[in-house]
Structure 1
Amino acid sequence: MKNPKIHVIVRSVGAYKRREMAKIILKILGAGIIIGGIAVAPNMVQVVSLFDPKNPSERRRIWRSIKHFEQKGDIRIQKKSGKITLTSQGKEAYSKELIWDLQVKKPLRWDGKWRLVAFDIPAKRTYVRHALRQKLDDLGFALYQRSLYIFPYDCRKEISFVVDHFKIRRHVCYIEAEHIEGASKFIRHFDLA
């Protein structure tokens, strides 16, 4: 899973809190906009018009968010066309947003298999270990044992994306199992009965 598909639903400017709108703008810039079935990098006018600003104040708010990304070095704006592209720093920020929005689609029926994620991340990368645990919790995993999490649904692509983002491929193992010790506890936990 190189980049998960994202769907951004844009509301009017007034519906967003300050940082919320900036995150939406970053997602739009990262994913591009669809024109004729093809994703293209948007220009400033297109980004502003997506929010359907009702007055000059709302328009300025959107421009300020875009300019803020430019000042931070996350985007580059072409002077003539107004086309906006993400810099490598911006792509990293976009990737971080995708990680925390990522969810696993749960099928209608459980296939009877367990998915386990085991990891042994070095102590010098404590922040990454904590972030991985936090994301596994966010996805709905349960702690099976220390550094071993369990989940009932297929999530290989999502875990692969997370592992690649944190650059910890060699420290993480994804396992599928049909039988586990204490299965009844997890069947209850995940409401699979």
Structure 2
Amino acid sequence: MDNKVDFKKIILTTVATTGILAIAALAPNALQVIKPFLKHKKKYNLKYYLNQKAQKLIKDGFLKIDTENGRQFLSLTQKGERKLLYYRVTDRKKNIKWDGKWRVVIFDVWENARQKRNLLRMEIKEFGFIQLQRSVWIYPYECADFIELLKTDLSFGKNIRYMIVESLDFDENLRKYFKLK
């Protein structure tokens, strides 16, 4: 997190961990988790900020409000569960030793699905892939779970191919880019 607090991730994780979370209790629970990350930051009105973030997550379809016995609770939607899975998959990629194999993603997406194709490019680039050729992207670490998540989320199915390449010629620049030995 590098001193940057991902409130979206904290809120989704908190809601998922507790199953459901009372809206009134959101700020106090989250404040305890967030405080260590804010040592050198300006003073936030965290209760207000977290409520704003929660409202945005509701608006964006990651959370929903449920009512039980006259009390309102937040719970994850299917979209929120997928986002949380994405966080878990991407968190796992940290501190992994390279096994000497390259992970290659190739995709063929029709022009009429340009928006989904651009979203796919953005997601794999954000994950850490670099572009090798036009629709060919490469990454040095295991990421099959991430690719399966993308295939499901973006409904691409067989239009995305995932390969594990044991030998790649002229990979010196790639090794340098990813800081591999």
Normalising by structure 1, we get a TM-score of: 0.66
Unaligned 5+ segments in structure 2 are 33-44
> What residue is the counterpart of 1:12 in the other structure?
none
Number of the residue aligned with 1:95: 82
CA contact (8 A) 2:104 2:138 kept: yes
Q: How far apart in 2 are the matches of 1:102 and 1:69?
A: 20
- CA change 1:27–1:142 in 2 (3 A) is same
CA distance in 1, matches of 2:179, 2:59: 48
Q: Distance in 1 between matches of 2:149 and 2:84?
A: 13
How far does residue 105 in structure 1 lie from its aligned partner after superposition? Answer: 2.8
For residue 40 of structure 2, what is the aligned residue in structure 1? none
CA contact (8 A) 2:108 2:135 kept: yes
- TM-fit CA distance, 1:71: 7.3
Alpha carbons 1:118, 1:172 under 8 Å: kept: yes
Equivalent residue, structure 2, for 1:51: 30
| Matched residue, 2:69 | 80
Please point out which of 13, 17, 24 is paired with 1:32: 17
Residue 38 of structure 2 corresponds to: none
**Matched residue of 2:21: which SS?**
coil
Give the counterpart of 1:177 among 154, 165, 175: 165
Residues paired across the two proteins, number? 164
Change (3 A) 1:84 1:32: farther
Rounded Cα–Cα distance in structure 2 between residues aligned with 1:100 and 1:186: 25
1:12-27 residue pairs with structure 2 within 5 A? 21=7, 24-27=10-13
Contact 1:102 1:158 in 2 (8 A): yes
Distance 1:142 1:32, change over 3 A: same
SS in 2 for 1:32: helix
Secondary structure at the counterpart of residue 180 of structure 2: coil
CA change 1:134–1:78 in 2 (3 A) is same
Q: Structure 1 counterpart of 2:138, which letter?
A: I
Q: Are positions 1:135 and 2:123 aligned together?
A: yes
Q: CA deviation at 1:158?
A: 1.6
CA distance in 2, matches of 1:72, 1:111: 38
Secondary structure, in 3 states, of the residue corresponding to 1:78?
Answer: strand
Distance in 2 between the 1:111 and 1:71 partners? 42
